Structure 1
Amino acid sequence: MVARRDAAIARGAARLTAVAIASGKGATVTDVDGNTFIDFAGGIGTLAVGHAPQDVVDAIRRQSEQLLHMCSIVATYEPYVAVCERLNRLVPGDHAKKTVLLNSGAEAVEAAVKIARAHTGRQALIVFEGAYHGRTNLTMGMTSKYALFKKGFGPYPSEIYRLPFPNLYRRPAGMSEDAYLDHCIAQFDHALVAQVAPEAVAAVVVETVQGEGGFVPLPPRFAEHLRARCSEHGMLFVADEVQAGMSRTGRLFAIEHYGLVPDIVVCGKSIAGGMPLAAVTGRADIMDAPHPGGLGGTYSGNPVACAAALVALDSLTSPAFLERASAIGEYVRAHLERLQARFPDLIGEMRGLGPMLAIELVKDPVSRAPAPELTNAINAETLKRGLITIRAGLYSNCLRFLPPLTISDEQIDEGMAVLAEAIAAAQAGPA
C-alpha cells in the first residue's frame, strides 16, 4: 500500500512513517499486516476522544442516513446551528458571541484574519517566530518554519510582521527567565514603533501553545502583556487553538489556564472526533463585520462533521474527561522526567501544558545544539517496536506526545518503555 501511495500521490504530500493502517480503536491502530501500534501521534492532535469512539461513529451513521450534505450557504440545518450555539457558550468571555464553521484549521485562521480586518478596517498582522498557522498562501505567510512549509511557494502576502516568541529554554546564556521575559516584552513594544504602528494592526495572532514550534507554552506574563496592548490599541487578540484546544491541555481551551479572554478563538482538530471541522468564535460585533457572503465554503460545517462534533463535545467538556486528561498529563510528565534523568545529555527540556507535552533533543546540554537526526532515529526505533511517535519543533528536534485522551495508564507505561528502548537504541547507533 505504501508503494502504491508513493507511485500515485504527489511527493509533497509527505508521509512520516511506512505504516499502512487498516483500523483504529481507542489509543491503538492496526496495520494491514495485522500489527497493532500504540498511537502517541493521535492524528496530529485530532483524536482527543480516541480512534472510532462508538458514540461518534453512531452519530455519523445516524446523520449520514438523514443528510450527507447541503451547504450552509444554501440552507440551514440543525447540526450546524447546534455546534455554533455550543461553541458560543463554551468559548471564554461573558459577552455575546457568534461562530462560523470551516473545514480546517488553516481555513479558520484565514477566516479569523478576514473578520479582524473587516472589523478594524486595518490590514497588518502580528505573528510570532515558531508559529504554525496553516498551508494556504496567507497562513503560510503567517507561519514561521520556512524550509519545511514555505520553501519555493512564495511570494507571500504583505503586512505580516513576525516578532520573537519567548522560548525560555533558548534564552541567552546567563539571562534569568524574568529578565528574558522583560526583554521579549520590550521587543514587542519596540516593534510597535520600529516595524508597524499599532493603529495599523488588525490582529495579534498567537498560538496559546505553539504546536509545530515544539509545544512551547505562551508565558503567562507575556500573554497578559499582549492582551493589554491589544486592548489599549484596538488590535484584536486572536488565540489560535487549533492544536492546543479541545481539552488537549486539560482544559477545553488552553487560554483558560491564563484567565484571559481573547477577542477571537480559532479551534479545530479534535473538535469533531476525527472528522474535518474547524471554527472561529468571537465577540458578536466582531464576527458580524464581514459582509454577507464574505465567509463560508461549500463543505464548511458539513452536517455529518457537525453531528460528530456535537457528540465529541459532550465528551470533551465532561468533568470526568477533563479530570482524566489532567491526570494523563501528570502521568506522562512523570515518565518524561524519568527519561530526562536517564538521558540528561540528550533530552534538553521536557515542556508543555497539561497532557500536551514534548521533549527537545539536543547534541549536548551545554550548547543545546538541536539534534534532528537523533529525533528521526528515535521515531524509526519506536515504530519498529510498535509505537507511533512524531517530531515537532522549529529545528525538527522535538518529540511531541498527542495520544488519545482515552489512553490507559497501562498503555502509557508500555509506550514509555518502548520510547526508553528506542532512545537507547538511537543513541547507540547502527549495530
Structure 2
Amino acid sequence: MQKTMQQYTDIFDKCQTNEGYFGDFRVAGDNYFVSPVLESVPGTVMRFEGNDKVMWATNNYLGLADNNEIKQVAVETAMEWGVSGPMGCRMVSGNTHEHIALEEELAAYAQKESSVLFNFGYLGIIGTIASLVGKDDIIVMDKLCHASIIDAARLAVSDPRNLRVFRHNDMDSLEKLLQTVNKTRKKGVLVLTEGVYGMTGDLAKLDRICELKDKYEARLFVDDAHGFGVMGAHGRGAAEHFGVQDKVDIYLSTFAKAFTAIGGFSAAKKEVVDWIQYNARTQIFAKSLPMVYVKSLRKTLELVQEGHVRRERLFEVSELLSNGLRNLGYYVAQTASPIISVYVPGGDLAVGKYWVKFLRDHGVFLQCVMYPVIPKELIMFRIIPTASHTNEQIAFTIEIFKQLRDEYSLQLDIHLEAVDRIYSND
C-alpha cells in the first residue's frame, strides 16, 4: 500500500502512476489479492475462480448471513416496499414507525436512552463526531483507530493541534495526553477508540479508559463494529465485556459485521442523540435507510439477543482453530475476541502472495496482511471464524496450513518484539 507524495500539474497525472493505496495492484488490474471476485452468497463455503473454498474472510460472526427467518422478512418487505421505500431523508419524508421502533430497540439493547440510525457505519462515525466536536474542542484518539474514525477526527477539528493521538492501548500515553490537554483546554475533550480492533483482534482497555476519561472530565466515543453482537454476556459488545456499558458516553456500531446488513447507529443519552440527529450532516442530507433493511434488522436484532448458543459456538470455533494452528508451530496472538491473527516470519510481498495463492488453491480463503500495515519481518494471516463453521472445515483448514508449512519449509519462530510493535504501532 502506497500513498503519493509527489506534486503534479494536473490532478489526473497521478492516475497514470503506481502510487496511491494498493498502487501496484491497481496498475496490474489485480482481482485476486485485492478486490477478489467471489461468486456465491456469504457462507462458510464460497466460490472463487469457479471452485469452492472454505471461507475465513467475512465478518459473518454469528452465521446470520443466510438465516432463513431474516431472508423471509426481507422478501416480504421488498415485495411491499421495493428496495427504495421510504423515499426522502428522515426529516422530510423518510421517517416511519419502523425506523423509530428499531432505534428504540437498539437503544434498549445497548442500554442507552436513545439511538439514531445511519445508512452506513462509516457515515455514522463521521456524522456523530463532526456534529459534536466544535471549535476549540479537542479529540484524543488511539493510534490504531479505523480509517473512518481518522477521517471523522480530521473533519471535526478546525485546528490540527486539537487532534491528539496516543499509543495504541497505552494507558500511560493516554493519561499523559489528557493531563497535557487539560492544562490549556478551552472546551470539551472527546476520546475516540474502537471496542474490538478488527485487524488484530485485541480489545481496547475500556475499563481503564473509562476511569481516565472520568478523572480528566472527558467524554468517550466507542466504535464497536466488531464487538456488537459478539462480545459480552449478552452480546452487547466490548463495553459489556469489561462491565462499563454505562460509562461509555457514545456507543456506535455498524450492521456490517455480526448483523450482516448495512447501516449503523449511535446510542447515548437522549439529549445527545437528539443533537446528533438534528446536526449530523451525514444523517440530515441522506435518504432514509430502506425499509427492507429496517425490518430485516429488527428480526436480526431479535436473533442476536437470543444468540447465546451462536456466540458460544463462535468462540469454540475460534479456540479449536487457534489451538490447531498453534500445535503446528504457528504463532497465534492471544486475544479476548474471536478474531484469529496468525503471524509468520517473512515480509516479502512476493512470498506472501505465493503463500496466499497456495492456501486458496488448496481450498482455504483468507486475508493476508503485510508491510506497511505490519512490520517488514512479518506476514499476518487474518482469520474470521463464524458460528456456522463445522469441525470438518476447521480440521481441513488446519491440514492445509500444515501442508503450507511443509511445502515451503516455513520457519515459524517469531521475534515477539515484532508482534509487540504491531499492537503498539511503533
Classify the TM-score, shorter chain.
Answer: 0.7 to 0.9
Q: Distance in 2 between matches of 1:51 and 1:240?
A: 22
CA contact (8 A) 1:375 1:398 kept: no
Q: Distance in 2 between matches of 1:202 and 1:13?
A: 44
Matched residue SS, 1:80 = helix
1:246/1:373 CA distance change after superposition, 3 Å: farther
How many Å apart are 1:61 and its aligned residue? 1.6
Report the equivalent of 1:204: 191
Q: Give the stretch that moved more between structures: 276-285 or 189-198.
A: 189-198
Q: Please tell me whether residue 389 in structure 1 is matched to residue 370 in structure 2.
A: no
Alignment of 1:42-57 (within 5 A): 42=58, 45=59, 48-57=62-71
Matched residue SS, 2:260 = coil
Q: Please tell me whether residue 90 in structure 1 is matched to residue 72 in structure 2.
A: no
Q: Distance in 1 between matches of 2:114 and 2:36?
A: 41
Q: Distance in 2 between matches of 1:248 and 1:203?
A: 24
How many Å apart are 1:189 and its aligned residue? 1.9
Q: Please tell me whether residue 311 in structure 1 is matched to residue 303 in structure 2.
A: no
How many Å apart are 1:216 and its aligned residue? 2.0
> Could you give the per-residue CA deviations for residues 294-313 of structure 1, whole angstroms, max 9, x where no partner exists?
44142352222212211222
**Aligned mate of 2:126, from 89, 101, 110:** 110
How many Å apart are 1:55 and its aligned residue? 2.0
Q: Which one-letter code corresponds to 2:361 in the other structure?
A: K
Matched residue SS, 2:168 = coil
Report the equivalent of 2:274: 288
Q: CA RMSD in A?
A: 3.5
CA contact (8 A) 2:219 2:249 kept: yes
**Aligned mate of 1:335, from 318, 321, 328:** 321
Q: Please tell me whether residue 227 in structure 1 is matched to residue 227 in structure 2.
A: no
Q: Please tell me whether residue 322 in structure 1 is matched to residue 308 in structure 2.
A: yes
CA contact (8 A) 1:27 1:407 kept: yes
Which sections of structure 2, spanning at least 5 residues, go unmatched?
Answer: 1-24, 412-426
Matched residue SS, 1:23 = coil
Q: Which one-letter code corresponds to 1:74 in the other structure?
A: V
> Could you give the per-residue CA deviations for residues 335-374 of structure 1, whole angstroms, max 9, x where no partner exists?
3234224225xx2x423324233223345xxxxxx67766
TM-score, normalised relative to structure 1 = 0.74
1:384/1:338 CA distance change after superposition, 3 Å: same
How many Å apart are 1:134 and its aligned residue? 1.8
> Could you give the per-residue CA deviations for residues 13-45 of structure 1, whole angstroms, max 9, x where no partner exists?
985357532322532222462x21221111xx2
Q: Which one-letter code corresponds to 2:204 in the other structure?
A: L
**Aligned mate of 2:43, from 1, 4, 26:** 26
Q: Which one-letter code corresponds to 1:316 in the other structure?
A: V
Report the equivalent of 2:335: 352
Q: Which one-letter code corresponds to 1:80 in the other structure?
A: H
1:416/1:200 CA distance change after superposition, 3 Å: farther
1:389/1:127 CA distance change after superposition, 3 Å: same
> Could you give the per-residue CA deviations for residues 38-71 of structure 1, whole angstroms, max 9, x where no partner exists?
21111xx256434432222222221122223223
CA contact (8 A) 1:249 1:356 kept: no
Q: Distance in 1 between matches of 2:277 and 2:80?
A: 31
> Could you give the per-residue CA deviations for residues 250-294 of structure 1, whole angstroms, max 9, x where no partner exists?
723122110012111110144684332111111212222347354
Report the equivalent of 1:238: 221
CA contact (8 A) 1:248 1:356 kept: no
Which sections of structure 1, spanning at least 5 residues, go unmatched?
Answer: 1-8, 143-154, 167-183, 364-369
Q: Please tell me whether residue 73 in structure 1 is matched to residue 91 in structure 2.
A: yes
Identity %: 11
Q: Please tell me whether residue 125 in structure 1 is matched to residue 139 in structure 2.
A: yes
Q: Which one-letter code corresponds to 1:404 in the other structure?
A: T
Report the equivalent of 2:15: none
Q: Distance in 2 between matches of 1:245 and 1:201?
A: 27
1:159/1:247 CA distance change after superposition, 3 Å: same
Report the equivalent of 1:152: none
Q: Distance in 2 between matches of 1:25 and 1:203?
A: 37
Matched residue SS, 1:209 = coil
Q: Please tell me whether residue 162 in structure 1 is matched to residue 146 in structure 2.
A: no
1:387/1:73 CA distance change after superposition, 3 Å: farther
Q: Please tell me whether residue 257 in structure 1 is matched to residue 241 in structure 2.
A: yes
Matched residue SS, 1:265 = strand
Q: Which one-letter code corresponds to 1:236 in the other structure?
A: R
CA contact (8 A) 2:198 2:339 kept: no
Q: Which one-letter code corresponds to 1:78 in the other structure?
A: H
Report the equivalent of 1:411: 393
How many Å apart are 1:104 and its aligned residue? 2.2
Q: Distance in 1 between matches of 2:28 and 2:60?
A: 21
Count of residue correspondences: 370
Matched residue SS, 1:267 = strand
> Could you give the per-residue CA deviations for residues 184-213 of structure 1, whole angstroms, max 9, x where no partner exists?
33322222234565664431111122123x
Q: Give the stretch that moved more between structures: 189-198 or 125-134.
A: 189-198
CA contact (8 A) 2:220 2:250 kept: yes
Matched residue SS, 1:237 = strand
Matched residue SS, 2:213 = helix
CA contact (8 A) 2:193 2:221 kept: yes
CA contact (8 A) 2:114 2:269 kept: yes
